């Protein structure tokens, strides 16, 4: 690849180690070339030194700062770079002019491109072995739903394929291929779409092969402050929940045994008992076998269909004031509703920024990350919430043989996380490389996760800063904040917010977008819309692989490389927000698919310990897998650190607790399952969980709302009230609501909700989406 600019005598600093080499700047990469070992003593002059090249693709940059120095300074001017694959590197130059030219060149190849079509994917020429693959054709929705048992040529399972969105005019963020209940006509769909945000109606994404129970997904309803309803939407959801039953009634009301407990204490106790029972059920071959045919039937228990709202209930109420909201369960009496309290994109972006703050000196220092900052980031707490919510969905379908409808706000962030993770837990097919590719294509790409919007491929002016530091001649110490003299720096306000994410971010929603050049509005990066949603999904998948080392065909490196190529922009797969946009841009013709990269290197990403055997009668080989929420750990490989640096304290606490349990067991004999479960409640949990607190925070039926106290109940009832005083009721309720009390504390800490919890809740209020 031709270098547009070559800079000699550049000192690269990575992991506290300094090497001198050449920095080559091409149109799409920075390439730093340096001898492999500059500290090994004199080399043979006749033997040229072995060189190592470190490649950085421009779109992967998350922050780039130029630090010029005064002429009298003995320090070198530098460029510090942070990447979204958690690479941290500093380049020192011989003088300010050279450093400035390099900085301006890098900036011109990122936030000044103006259009996605100038990214590397449209110029990349794949290797021969990649050309032999056809990643764009790998996912065929007809084939996948045929695998699930839905096809015109197969017996009717209560579902049909509709062509209502073949030209994307019905919903431009949905795929052309949609599966809906057989008894619902396209005409009903047309009337139902106006009741869902962005016309994202409830549609099928997964049907369980054993019990025919389903996962459907949608966006939030447009209920508004007056609690509007839509008969066609009610019919669609009812048909989705009754499609598998011959002659199933759309008006059926669940029996009393399906109703959820009437207060939060009972709810938590019930969930705890249910989890112990169901985990034992799986491990003891809970599958019911037909003695006559020998075939597996279903896991036992009465049906209890559920509508899962991934948001905190307070978010749903604020959205209700804005004309959206959540379902009025008086109209959906065939189901219960659950709020999972998973944070929105702003909360997750802030959380990852705090992780970066803990790691940010990885270029100039070999010291371990700041564990206090890691703890304060709440990252593992968010991973816990997502996995816990996914496990709730998995149990409902795989064990309670019930149907689940999932939505958040628009149905393309938290909904995609929950839907895809539940399918990994339910279906061994999605634990294969082929199945995982199909899952990402189906539940992320085709269902319209906003990859371009969430990834910020074109970078942003705010992510580049010039630090005019009066103390530039002083040495930068590990842990030092480069922004300590902000008053003297010529740095944009947004860059300071990004560099110091621990400050109050109340302006995130109102931060102006600073751009230059002719940037197409639709493609320009909006910093407040960037969020690590797909990264969190991969992190959750990593937790499942780590806890089930023989149950996955793909390995940890597969997930890590996929995260890298999310940002590399070498392939066209993740450059757009929807199936329609990809087709309009003809990415299948003009770029290569990221799956070409993985499929031609399949051996590198295959787990050698993978065992594909599925037998519900053998412990460890069951069809369903569930996460152990006490064993959530930092994905240290992706952060470029060691296990001990990231997880040392968590592992030590867990080992001490296991030792205590072993001692108790040896003294009193083998404890029963219920004794172990009660004892385990004291086990150190990944950041932030109370002993009995579940991520499931509120369950609502058609006749009541379950809350943790009377004040919360009154607030939700007020939010659902009709009439002119409804808004006032919400306002008054919010003013007296202590949101922080119900939020989980940080992982690894035993104390109750502390000061760090309140900003999290306040941010949810300010940044509702």
| Contacts by residues 591-594 (CB-CB < 8 Å, ≥ 24 positions apart) | 591/121, 591/122, 591/124, 592/121, 592/124, 592/126, 592/130, 592/135, 593/133, 593/134, 593/135, 593/136, 593/138, 594/135, 594/562, 594/565, 594/570
The three-class DSSP label of residue 274 is helix
Q: How confident is the model at residue 154 (pLDDT cuts 50, 70, 90)?
A: confident
Query: Are the CB atoms for 192 and 233 separated by under 8 Å?
Result: yes
Host H or E run for residue 419? helix 414-426
Average pLDDT, integer, range 263-289: 45
Burial class (CB in 10 A: 0-12, 13-18, 19+), 517: exposed
Which residue is it, tokens 């110029």?
A: 123
Cα 347 from Cα 756, distance rounded (Å):
13
Q: Confirm if 12 and 25 have CB atoms less than 8 A apart.
A: no
Question: Is 55 annotated to bind ligand?
Answer: no
Tokens at 192, concatenated:
């139902």
414 is in an annotated binding site: yes
Structure tokens, 176: 């052309």
Contact 18, 35 (CB under 8 A): no
* Interatomic CA distance for residues 634 and 632, integer angstroms: 7
Higher confidence at residue 416 or residue 284? 416
Cα separation, 540 vs 604, whole angstroms: 21
**Which region among 419-433, 522-536, 550-564 has the lowest average model confidence (pLDDT)?**
522-536
> In this structure, how many other beta carbons lie within 10 angstroms of the beta carbon of residue 188?
19
| Exposure of 640 in the CB half-sphere (CA atoms within 13 A) | 22
Q: Is 409 annotated as a binding residue?
A: yes
| pTM of the full structure | 0.80
Q: What is the mean pLDDT of residues 21-32?
A: 96
More confident residue, 479 or 74: 74
Q: Does 463 show up as a binding residue in the annotation?
A: no
Helix/strand/coil for 533: helix
Give catalytic residue positions. 408
- Nearest alpha carbon to residue 214 among 158, 260, 156, 255: 158
Tell me if 411 is assigned to a ligand binding site.
Answer: yes
Q: In whole numbers, what is the pLDDT of the chain averaged over residues?
A: 80
- Whether 658 shows a pLDDT value over 90: the answer reads no
Question: Mind giving me the DSSP string for 500-531?
Answer: -TTS--TTGGGPPP---S---TTTS--GGG--
Domains and CATH numbers, the chain: 3-110+461-514 (2.30.29.30), 124-153+203-449+526-627+693-737 (no CATH), 633-685 (no CATH)
**How far is Cα 584 from Cα 579, in angstroms, rounded to an integer?**
9
Q: Is 344 annotated in some ligand binding site? A: yes
Which of 296-300, 331-335, 493-497, 508-512 has the least mean pLDDT? Answer: 508-512
Residue written as token pair 């700062």: 65
Element (H, E) at 79: strand 78-83
Q: Which has the closest alpha carbon to 338: 303, 317, 309, 314?
A: 309
User: Are 28 and 123 spatial neighbours (Cβ–Cβ below 8 Å)?
Assistant: yes
662 pLDDT tier (thresholds 50, 70, 90): confident
The CA distance from 61 to 91, in Å, is 14
How many Å apart are CA 565 and CA 339, to the nearest integer?
33
Instruction: List helix spans (H) across 294-370.
Output: 313-321, 345-359
pLDDT at 203: 99
Alpha-carbon gap, residue 696 to 719, rounded angstroms? 20
**Distance (Å, whole) CA 715 – CA 314:** 9
DSSP 661-712: HHHHHHHH-SPPHHHHHHHHTTSPPSSS--SS--S--EEE-SS-B--SSHHH
Taking alpha carbons only, the member of 743, 563, 639 closest to residue 354 is 639
Helix 379-398 vs helix 414-426: crossing angle, to nearest 10: 50
pLDDT at residue 46 in the model: 67
159 known member of a binding site: no
Q: Are 124 and 591 in contact (CB under 8 A)?
A: yes
Residue 646, judged by CB atoms within 10 A of its CB (0-12, 13-18, 19+), counts as buried
Rounded to an integer, what distance in angstroms lies between the CA atom of residue 3 and that of residue 101?
Answer: 14
Helix (H) or strand (E) holding 715: helix 710-719
Name the strands in the sheet holding 61-67, side by side, starting at the edge strand that comes first in the sequence. Answer: 51-57, 29-35, 17-26, 3-14, 88-92, 78-83, 61-67, 464-466
Q: Is the pLDDT of residue 730 over 70?
A: no
Each residue of 65-113: pLDDT tens digit?
Answer: 999 999 888 899 999 999 999 999 999 999 999 999 999 999 999 988 9
Backbone angles phi, psi at 340, to 5 degrees: -95, -15
Residue 213 is labelled as binding a ligand: no
For residue 362, the model assigns a pLDDT of: 81
Q: What's the gap between Cα 106 and its chain centre?
A: 29
**DSSP bridge partners of 17:** 14
Query: Among 523, 533, 534, which residue's Cα sits nearest to residue 460?
Result: 523
**160 annotated as belonging to a binding site for a ligand:** no
Rounded to 10°, the helix 757-766/345-359 angle is: 140
How far apart, in whole angstroms, are the C-alpha atoms of residue 60 and residue 567? 5
203-253 per-position pLDDT tens digit? 999 999 999 999 999 999 999 999 999 999 999 999 999 976 544 445 443
What is the predicted pLDDT for the residue at 246?
46
pLDDT at 72: 84
């Amino acid at each position: 690849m031709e270098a547009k600019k070559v800079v000699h005598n550049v000192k690269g600093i990575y992991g506290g180690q300094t090497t001198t080499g050449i920095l080559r700047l091409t149109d799409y990469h920075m390439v730093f070339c340096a001898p492999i070992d500059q500290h090994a003593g004199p080399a043979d002059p006749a033997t040229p030194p072995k060189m190592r090249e470190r490649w950085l693709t421009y779109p992967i940059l998350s922050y780039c700062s130029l630090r010029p120095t005064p002429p009298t300074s003995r320090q070198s001017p530098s460029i510090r770079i942070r990447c979204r694959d958690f690479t941290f590197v500093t380049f020192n130059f011989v003088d300010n002019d050279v450093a400035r030219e390099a900085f301006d060149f890098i900036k011109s190849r990122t936030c000044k491109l103006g259009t996605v079509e100038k990214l590397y994917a449209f110029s990349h020429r794949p290797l021969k072995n990649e050309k032999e693959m056809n990643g764009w054709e790998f996912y065929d929705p007809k084939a996948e739903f045929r695998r699930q048992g839905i096809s015109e040529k197969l017996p009717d399972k209560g579902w049909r394929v509709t062509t209502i969105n073949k030209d994307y005019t019905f919903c431009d963020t949905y795929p052309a291929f949609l599966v809906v209940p057989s008894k619902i006509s396209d005409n009903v769909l047309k009337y139902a779409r106006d009741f869902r945000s962005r016309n994202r109606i409830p549609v099928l994404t997964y049907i369980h092969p054993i019990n025919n129970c389903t996962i459907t997904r949608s966006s939030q309803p447009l209920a508004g402050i007056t609690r509007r309803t839509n008969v066609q939407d009610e019919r669609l959801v009812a048909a989705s929940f009754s499609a598998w039953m011959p002659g199933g009634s759309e008006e059926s009301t669940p029996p009393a045994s399906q109703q959820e407990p009437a207060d939060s204490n009972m709810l938590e106790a019930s969930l705890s008992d249910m989890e112990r029972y169901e985990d034992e059920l799986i491990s003891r071959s809970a599958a019911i076998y037909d003695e006559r045919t020998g075939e597996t039937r279903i896991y036992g228990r009465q049906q209890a269909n559920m509508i899962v709202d991934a948001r905190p209930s307070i978010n749903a109420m604020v959205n209700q004031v804005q004309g959206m909201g959540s379902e009025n369960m008086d109209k959906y009496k065939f189901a219960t509703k659950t709020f999972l309290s998973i944070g929105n994109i702003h909360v997750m972006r802030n959380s990852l920024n705090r992780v970066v703050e803990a790691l940010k000196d990885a270029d100039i220092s070999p010291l371990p990350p700041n564990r206090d900052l890691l703890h304060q980031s709440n990252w593992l707490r968010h991973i816990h919430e997502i996995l816990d919510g996914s496990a709730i969905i998995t149990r409902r379908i795989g064990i309670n043989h019930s149907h689940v409808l999932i939505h958040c706000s628009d149905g393309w962030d938290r909904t995609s996380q929950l839907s895809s993770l539940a399918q990994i837990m339910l279906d061994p097919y999605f634990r294969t490389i082929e199945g995982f590719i199909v899952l990402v294509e189906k539940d992320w790409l085709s269902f319209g996760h906003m990859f371009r919007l969430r990834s910020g491929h074109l970078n942003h002016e705010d992510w580049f800063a010039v630090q005019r530091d009066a103390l530039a001649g002083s040495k930068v110490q590990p842990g030092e904040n480069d922004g300590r003299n902000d008053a003297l720096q010529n740095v944009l306000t947004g860059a300071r917010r990004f560099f110091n994410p621990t400050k109050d971010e109340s302006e995130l929603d109102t931060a102006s977008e600073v751009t230059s050049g002719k940037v197409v509005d639709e493609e320009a990066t909006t910093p407040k819309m960037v969020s690590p949603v797909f990264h969190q999904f991969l992190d959750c998948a990593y937790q499942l692989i780590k806890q089930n080392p023989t149950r996955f065909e793909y390995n940890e490196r597969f997930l890590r490389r996929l995260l890298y190529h999310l940002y590399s922009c070498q392939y066209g797969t993740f450059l757009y927000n929807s199936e329609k946009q990809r087709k309009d841009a003809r990415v299948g013709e003009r770029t290569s698919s990221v799956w070409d990269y993985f499929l031609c290197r399949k051996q590198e990403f295959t787990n050698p310990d993978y065992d594909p055997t599925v037998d519900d009668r053998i412990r460890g080989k069951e069809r369903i897998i569930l996460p152990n929420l006490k064993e959530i750990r930092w994905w240290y490989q992706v952060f470029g650190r060691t296990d001990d640096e990231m997880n040392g304290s968590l592992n030590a606490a867990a080992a001490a607790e296991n030792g205590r349990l072993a001692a108790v067991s040896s003294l009193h004999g083998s404890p029963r399952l219920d004794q172990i479960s009660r004892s385990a409640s004291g086990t150190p949990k990944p950041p932030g969980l109370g002993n009995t607190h579940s991520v499931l925070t509120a369950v609502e039926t058609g006749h009541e709302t379950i809350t943790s106290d009377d004040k919360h109940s009154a607030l939700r009832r007020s939010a659902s009230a009709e009439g002119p005083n409804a808004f006032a009721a919400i306002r008054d309720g919010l003013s007296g609501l202590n949101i922080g009390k119900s939020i989980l504390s940080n992982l690894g800490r035993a104390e109750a909700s502390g000061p760090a919890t309140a900003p999290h809740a306040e941010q949810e209020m300010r940044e509702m989406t």
